[in-house]
Structure 1
């Protein structure tokens, strides 16, 4: 089965509009991606990595006066915004992880994920493939996603990866990538385009099914899906599993009894804390095994 790139990156096919996309509107309305206020209760960075799923969920209960505090800083990567979160008191080289946003864009939710990864000991660099735009409705997300230039996005990811390896603050010798939804598809694409990667994690992203294209992946892949995800049905997941095997790519496919976007606490009605916690434990182990060497 061969699909064009727009289809493969189509984390938000038309049916997805009826599914409310990858997160709830309220998850991106308050405290925009450039939110200037860090008011609110402070969470120590070293505690963030050990948060229970319930505590991580609470971070996404945005209040009217301010978004929860961030731990990192905004950068410019290849002319695009990026958010870098570093472990405290980490000794170089620091293992690096590229973080790729959902179809909403680089919002507070994704920055929380970068902070969560930093608390696990990784230099987490969240890229922006939307040119600074952050969607607040499924219709807006769909429109922005359709404007994404694959060549430009690939260039941003390659430059961001180089930053993790060469920055004096990171100097990563082992790197990985993680993404959700739209970002899950691009996480897989990053694995295809950046052979130096040591780990690829994709949460419910539209998979590539072409065996010849998948052969370019050198890193092991951890792919996470929900069995109730109507946009990526189980037969597609099984075909992806088979294609990865035929391509000789080391991989694990995890399936949870949950819908699309189940790992996003900003998605009421879709978020599944039990599945999210179980998947996060698997991701932590996978990244540690492949990046902390």
Structure 2
């Protein structure tokens, strides 16, 4: 009997350890997609999959702006205005590192290529920027849905009622790119999500005012092909158009600060994104 008790205790301990070490499931039924994505920050494998960004300093055009939010606070963003008066906007949603100089550089690239479009990179971390995976994990976990939505809604009020808004984001920002499009309602004209957590509520997806371009990595261990397959089914059930492009790469392959950056795939994905945005925003040329 004593041996049986010892065996049961050992088995229970082994089972508990296995559960603690197993990757967080992206396919678990969520309360909200963004909260499930934030839970990934507690998973060691996910954190180790993000190598610390290489140093970079942006010195191009653009300025930090501040706007009010409905929760009585203020929020920030990095804005590059169009050379001509325009109600066309691209909202850029940063990766889990925060609104760093790489995001500013990408924002400028799109502003330079999308003539007649204002670009605003939203700061969902309220001024905080991570330089290590451990810091990024804490910042991502610290984001509440309520505060992030307040920032996004504040940005929408800032750009005005006539704004046409396209969204684009990577990783953490990929999930929030889709959420921003959902919050934008009739103002949304296009959305691009790079390896971000999809929305799993079909009822919410039915409220989308735009189609979606999803760019994913075949070797991604967090936003897996299985997660994307379910998203494809959910979008079909919601009767919304989804275009999916897979690359045989790892998570964050399009981030130039990532040592695992794949230039060929990143440039191809950028060209695809650029063509999509020009069509969504009805740009000439």
TM-score (norm. length: structure 1): 0.79
Which residue number in structure 2 is paired with residue 204 of structure 1? 195
The answer to whether the 8 A contact 2:91-2:168 is kept is yes
Residue 31 of structure 2 corresponds to 4
- SS of aligned partner of 1:206: coil
Instruction: Using the TM superposition, give the Cα deviation of residue 163 of structure 1 relative to its aligned residue in structure 2, in angstroms.
Output: 2.2
Q: CA RMSD in A?
A: 1.7
* Structure 1 equivalent of residue 46 of structure 2: 16
User: Helix, strand or coil: the match of 1:146?
Assistant: helix
**Matched residues in 2 for 1:216 and 1:9: separation?**
23
For 1:113, the equivalent position in structure 2 comes to 106
Report the equivalent of 1:175.
165
Higher helix share: 2
Separation in 2, partners of 1:13, 1:241:
27
Q: What is the DSSP-based 3-state SS (H/G/I as helix, E as strand, rest coil) of the residue aligned with 1:175?
A: strand
For residue 69 of structure 1, give the secondary structure of its aligned residue in structure 2: coil
Q: 1:220 aligns with which of 184, 206, 211?
A: 211
> Could you tell me whether the CA contact under 8 Å between 2:99 and 2:121 is conserved in 1?
yes
- 1:173: Cα distance to partner? 4.0
CA distance in 1, matches of 2:204, 2:42: 22
Secondary structure of 2:204's counterpart equals helix
The question of whether the paired residues in 1 share the 8 Å contact of 2:94 and 2:169 is answered with yes
Change (3 A) 1:17 1:236: same
Counterpart of 1:158 (choices 153, 157, 177) is 153
| Contact 2:38–2:141 (Cα < 8 Å) also in 1 | no
The partner residue of 2:177 within 177, 187, 191 is: 187
Task: Number of aligned residue pairs: give it.
Answer: 245
1:97 aligns with 2:93: no
Which residue in 1 is equivalent to 2:235?
Answer: 244
Instruction: Spell out structure 1 runs of 4+ moving beyond 6 A.
Output: none
CA displacement at 1:119 relative to structure 2: 0.4
Report the secondary structure of 1:223's partner residue. strand
Give the structure with higher Rg (CA): 2
Residues 1:277 and 1:13: Cα distance change in structure 2 (over 3 Å): farther
Q: Aligned pair 1:134/2:129, yes or no? A: yes
**Match status 1:258 vs 2:275:** no
Q: TM-score, normalised by structure 2?
A: 0.81
Q: Unaligned regions of 5+ residues in structure 2, if any? A: 1-27, 69-73
